[in-house]
Amino acid sequence: MKLPSHKRFIADIESGEAKELKPQSRFRFACQCCGECCRRDVDILINPYDVFRLTRHLKITTTEFLSQYATEYLGPDSHMPLVVLKHTQAGHCVFLKGNRCSIWRDRPSVCRLYPLGKFVGSDGKLRFYLNPLPRFCRGRKKKKYRTLTQWLRSSGFWEYHHNKEWYEHLLMDLTRGELLKKLPKQVLWLIAKVLYDFDDALPRFEKALGQKIPDDWKGKSKFMDEVVRQFVDLLKRPETQGDSNSQENSRS
Ligand code: SF4
Ligand code: SF4
């Protein structure tokens, strides 16, 4: 699914191209399942809950999932550890089979919300916008109308939202004061490991935290949040920061 980048989305909001929807706002859209938006070198950003759902769907570990189906990188501006789904050589999403999504029941959050986008303002309020549809999308072919409330309910948006709210708060805290930009790269990759390759990373922290990793997502995500926050708190202490900087310098 070709989605506007975050910057494009913000520009569309500012220019009024993306239209804000209220709960009872109606919009015209009915997917024709042509698969066009899943081609065109689409970049689908995924979050830890997406990884949890997809690995359970595919019955593989997070390590196997990341190596076969995803690419990890550090955001060039934010330094945030990010993960996108891989493309085939033809530029199709790795999960597109024919014109259909092969993991539809567990498709990532951004695919679920499309053609809408969401934005959290400085007041902390969640707002939804209807993105301008690209020319190739036939979603307006039929005169089918839904309200925002209906769309969010039928797409399963709220379940995904509630299961990844902690992660969005964590990212907000990590980017506050440009904290991520101050951390050495090896620390950022360690954070990525905890957040995305959690099947492999979390057991390593069980002993240090004196807790067993819960099997359910709620418990597991609480554990991940705790590990990253404790880790960053440790690095924020002036004497530890000095140590990590000197370690980084000695490797360069
Ligand atoms: S995950 Fe499914 S819906 Fe999303 S881009 Fe890939 S094929 Fe399309
Ligand atoms: S109709 Fe639009 S949203 Fe649906 S698959 Fe085609 S391009 Fe994607």
Distance (Å) from CA 111 to ligand 1 centroid: 6
* pLDDT tens-digit readout, 131-144: 889 999 999 888 89
The continuous run of DSSP H or E covering 221 comes out as: helix 217-236
Question: d(Cα 241, Cα 43) in Å, to the nearest integer?
Answer: 34
pTM: 0.89
- What average pLDDT score do residues 145-162 get? 96
State whether the beta carbon of 137 lies less than 6 angstroms from ligand 2.
yes
Percent of the chain with pLDDT over 90: 64
Diameter of the chain by CA atoms?
64
Name 17's Cβ contacts closer than 8 Å, sequence gap at least 6: 11, 132
* pLDDT tens-place string over residues 209-218: 788 888 899 9
Separation of CA 100 and ligand 1 centre (Å): 8
* Å from CA of 3 to ligand 2 middle: 11
Q: Which of 13, 226, 45 is nearest to 121 (CA)?
A: 13
* Contact in structure between 94 and 87 (CB atoms under 8 Å): yes
CA of 27 to the centre of ligand 1 (A): 22
Helix or strand (DSSP H, E) at 68 = helix 62-69
Q: Is 35 in the pocket of ligand 2 (CB under 6 A)?
A: yes
Tens of pLDDT, residue by residue over 121-130, are 778 789 999 9
Give me the sign of the Cα torsion angle 91, 95, 101, 106.
negative
Name the residue of 27, 37, 140 whose CB sits within 8 Å of the most ligand 2 atoms, as the mutation to test its pocket. 37
Q: What is the pLDDT of residue 238?
A: 62
Q: How far is CA 49 from CA 133, 167, 168, in A?
A: 27, 9, 11
